[in-house]
């Protein structure tokens, strides 16, 4: 199903749901839906995008909710989720910090007859009823294609490249790498280029990414053509180091999330390419499933994923690549405002690229 057809199906399902709300009397003491988000430091998205968009969807459907942020702590994640189960939620939406801790929460929820939804990150070995995310291999493919296009534009004969991967505990990081390696690997082979370093960043920690990248730049002897970085937090950490060495803009760097800072860095040329994931589709997809589970109406999915022998019914969405040429897409979509991007990028960079 295309994104547009999926959005239409969700809208139709919500109509049924809102019709139901109008006539039903709800006597819920605690919240009906619980959400645990992972942190607020690995990417601004969880606080600036996911949380408000989920809140908006629940409010529109008249469903009560509680949204907590685990602040990067697995004990906090577990305590928050357990507290929501004690409060009597009907559905738990989880963005895991690692699979084992999330699988444990899901097992407890299942025992209590509470449905669970893996949001953005699949819990390996878990028991979630649904999974809502983007096609994360496709995200990585876009990142890799963007890096290859940048290397070509810079006319680099034998590219010297490093990988700055996401958290090894996040299944998405594995999928992103699978995607970008499928593009960059063969290009390096074809051009006689080199992958000089391949490092993962625990917890997607942006500060740690800077330290790791400094070492990578040293390993490369200060001569580097591209940093394949799994998100903007990591990419911008690399850019800060490149800046100190007057290498920003000359080195291709990828990102993901289309944050205001990330898009500004695209406009100034510090990042070569990033990935825009329309989070409203993801939040609405998960909220619709949760609302259906609460109300007992039909749940809308558009695919499934495999986790070992288990098949998880899923909502899978399509990402978009962003370069200087199409930053404007995120503004037209009302995902970002020109004002917030241009406050960081500067008016000249915005004017030069038609962002208004
Ligand atoms: C998400 C990315 C995010 C990263 C760090 C991944 O699982 O898909 O959007 O940048 O986690 O929070």
| Domain ranges within the chain, ordered by starting residue | 3-128+278-317, 136-276+323-352
Maximum Cα interatomic distance, the chain, rounded to a whole number of Å: 69
Measure 231 CA to ligand 1 centroid, in angstroms: 7
Q: Is the pLDDT score of 26 beyond 90?
A: no
136-276+323-352 maps to which CATH number? Answer: 3.40.50.2300
CA 134/CA 159 separation, integer angstroms: 30
Q: Is 69 in the pocket of ligand 1 (CB under 6 A)?
A: no
What is the b/e burial string over 91-103, where b = at least 16 CB atoms within 10 angstroms of the residue's CB?
A: bbbbbbbbbebbb
Q: Tokens 């040429």, residue?
A: 325
Prediction pTM value: 0.93
CB 64 within 8 A of CB 86: no
What fold characterizes domain 3-128+278-317?
Answer: Rossmann fold (3.40.50)
Q: Is the pLDDT score of 25 beyond 70?
A: no
pLDDT in tens, 67-106: 999 999 999 999 999 999 999 999 999 999 999 999 999 9
Q: Is the pLDDT score of 220 beyond 80?
A: yes
Q: Is 256 in the pocket of ligand 1 (CB under 6 A)?
A: yes
- Angle at which helix 206-219 crosses helix 232-244, to 10 degrees, equals 50
Q: Is 170 in the pocket of ligand 1 (CB under 6 A)?
A: yes
Please identify, by atom number, the ligand 1 atom nearest to the C-alpha of residue 230.
10
Same fold, 3-128+278-317 and 136-276+323-352: yes
pLDDT in tens, 294-353: 999 999 999 999 999 999 999 999 999 999 999 999 999 999 999 999 999 999 999 999
Q: Is 98 in the pocket of ligand 1 (CB under 6 A)?
A: no
Q: Is 336 in the pocket of ligand 1 (CB under 6 A)?
A: no
Highest mean pLDDT among 8-22, 27-41, 316-330: 316-330
Please identify, by atom number, the ligand 1 atom nearest to the C-alpha of residue 170.
7
Measure 189 CA to ligand 1 centroid, in angstroms: 29
């Amino acid at each position: 199903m295309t994104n547009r057809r999926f959005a239409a199906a969700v809208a139709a399902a919500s109509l049924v749901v809102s019709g139901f709300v109008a006539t039903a009397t709800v006597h819920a003491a605690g919240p009906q839906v619980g959400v645990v988000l992972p942190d607020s430091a690995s990417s601004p998205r969880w606080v600036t995008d996911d949380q408000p968009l989920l809140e908006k969807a629940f409010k529109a459907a008249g469903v009560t909710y509680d949204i907590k942020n685990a602040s990067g702590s697995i004990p906090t994640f577990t305590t928050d989720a357990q507290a929501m189960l004690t409060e009597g939620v009907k559905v738990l939406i989880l963005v895991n910090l690692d699979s084992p801790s999330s699988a444990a929460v899901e097992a407890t929820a299942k025992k209590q007859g509470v449905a669970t939804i893996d949001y953005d990150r699949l819990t390996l070995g878990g028991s979630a009823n649904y999974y809502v995310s983007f096609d994360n291999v496709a995200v990585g493919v876009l990142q890799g294609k963007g890096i290859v296009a940048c290397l070509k534009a810079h006319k680099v004969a034998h590219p010297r490249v490093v990988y700055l991967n996401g958290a090894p505990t996040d299944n998405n990081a594995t999928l992103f790498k699978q995607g970008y390696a499928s593009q960059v690997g063969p290009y390096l082979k074809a051009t006689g280029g080199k992958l000089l370093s391949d490092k993962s960043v625990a917890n997607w920690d942006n500060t740690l990414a800077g330290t790791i990248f400094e070492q990578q730049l040293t390993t490369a002897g200060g001569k580097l053509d591209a940093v394949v970085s799994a998100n903007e937090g990591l990419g911008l950490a690399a850019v800060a180091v490149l800046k100190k060495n007057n290498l920003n803009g000359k080195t291709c760097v990828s990102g993901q999330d289309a944050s205001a800072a990330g898009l500004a860095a695209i406009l100034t040329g510090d990042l070569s390419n990033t990935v825009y994931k329309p989070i409203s589709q993801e939040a609405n997809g998960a909220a619709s499933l949760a609302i259906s589970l609460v109300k007992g109406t039909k749940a809308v999915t558009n695919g499934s994923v495999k986790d070992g022998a288990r098949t998880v019914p899923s909502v899978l969405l399509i990402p978009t690549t962003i370069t200087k040429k199409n930053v404007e897409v995120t503004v037209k979509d009302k995902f970002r405002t020109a004002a917030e991007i241009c406050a960081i990028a500067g008016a000249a960079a915005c004017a030069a690229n038609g962002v208004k």
